[in-house]
Amino acid sequence: MAGGRFQGGGKRESTDGMDVRVVQTNRVSKTHKGGKTPSWSCLVVAGNGQGKVGAAIGKARSVPDAIRKGEEAARKTMIDIPVVQKTIPHMIIGRMGSTSVMLRPASPGTGVVAGGAVRALLEAAGIHDVLAKTLGSRNAVNCAWATMDAFRNLMKPETRAAQRGLEATELTPWLKKTREQETESEVAGQAG
């Protein structure tokens, strides 16, 4: 993810294998009696690529310090999300302010159809096939918080099916087909 002047530097690999991305950098200044004091705020996303992801804002007088603070805060706010066959288990809408982010599961090979902060969060979480649509304001910070809200409300297929009194395979027919293929390959592997 290449960024422009204030759009962040993109993907960074940390020493412990975490996927850390700077989504947005913003130069701000506070006016004092003696003049203006410049500082930076950075929106940072961190994820392990296996269903754990967090986002936070770091603020400091220099960009590297703001990124470091944002990364530390993002690691503290990480949440677990259910990932099924490299996609999300069901459609969900997350909201923050006037921003709504709709996430829908997609079939294998679709890729991540999203932009900006939503894409960074999905890729950092390890979701490879998903459709996303941002409605309302497209402010990067609000999009990130709305996506995190959607992640918090995601449920495993079995939990959601139990709430509705259905079988998990009825709720996710695309999952039924892939699970049948997995069992067939396991049986063939044991027989051979």
Between CA 47 and CA 53 the distance in angstroms is 4
What are 142-172's pLDDT values in tens digits? Answer: 999 999 999 999 988 788 778 888 877 776 7
At the top level of CATH, which class does the domain 83-157 belong to?
alpha beta
> Domain extents for the chain?
10-79, 83-157
pLDDT in the model for residue 11:
61
Distance (Å) of CA 30 to CA 27, 38, 39, 69, 85: 10, 6, 8, 19, 47
Between CA 142 and CA 97 the distance in angstroms is 7
What are 32-50's pLDDT values in tens digits? Answer: 998 999 999 999 999 999 9
Architecture of the domain whose range is 10-79: 2-Layer Sandwich (3.30)
Q: Mean pLDDT score of the chain, rounded to an integer?
A: 87
Which amino acid is located at 161 in the chain? A
Cβ-proximal residues to 185 (8 Å cutoff; 6+ apart), any chain: none
